[in-house]
Amino acid sequence: MGTLHELHDAGQSVWLDFIRRDMLASGELAGMVEDGIRGLTSNPTIFQKAIGGSDSYDAAIRDALSLDPVSTPLAVYEGLAVADIQDAADTLRGVYESSAAHDGYVSLEVSPYLAADTDGTIEEAHRLWNLVARPNLMIKVPATPEGIPAIEELIAAGINVNATLMFSLADYEAVAYAFVRGIRRAADPQRIASVASFFVSRVDNDTDAALDKIGTEEALALRGRTAVANAKLAYERYLQIFEGPEFAGQLERGAQTQRVLWASTSTKNPAYSDVLYVEPLVGPRTVNTMPPATIEAYLDHGTADGSALVAGTDRAHEDIAALGELGIDFPAITAQLQTDGVQAFADSFSELLATVEDKMRALG
Active site includes 140?
yes
Q: Distance between CA 263 and CA 66 in Å, rounded?
A: 39
Q: Which residue of the set 140, 232, 268, 359 is catalytic?
A: 140
- N-to-C CA span, the chain: 48
Closest CA to 12 of 303, 198, 287, 305: 287
Query: Is there a contact between 89 and 138 (Cβ–Cβ < 8 Å)?
Result: no
- List, in sequence order, the alpha helices (H) in the chain: 4-9, 21-25, 28-35, 44-52, 58-67, 73-91, 93-98, 118-132, 147-156, 169-185, 201-214, 217-220, 226-242, 245-252, 292-301, 313-325, 330-363
Q: What are phi and psi of 313, to 5 degrees?
A: -65, -40
Q: What are phi and psi of 161, to 5 degrees?
A: -130, 130
Q: How far is Cα 279 from Cα 298, in angstroms, rounded to an integer?
A: 8
Report, as residue numbers or ranges, the catalytic residues: 140
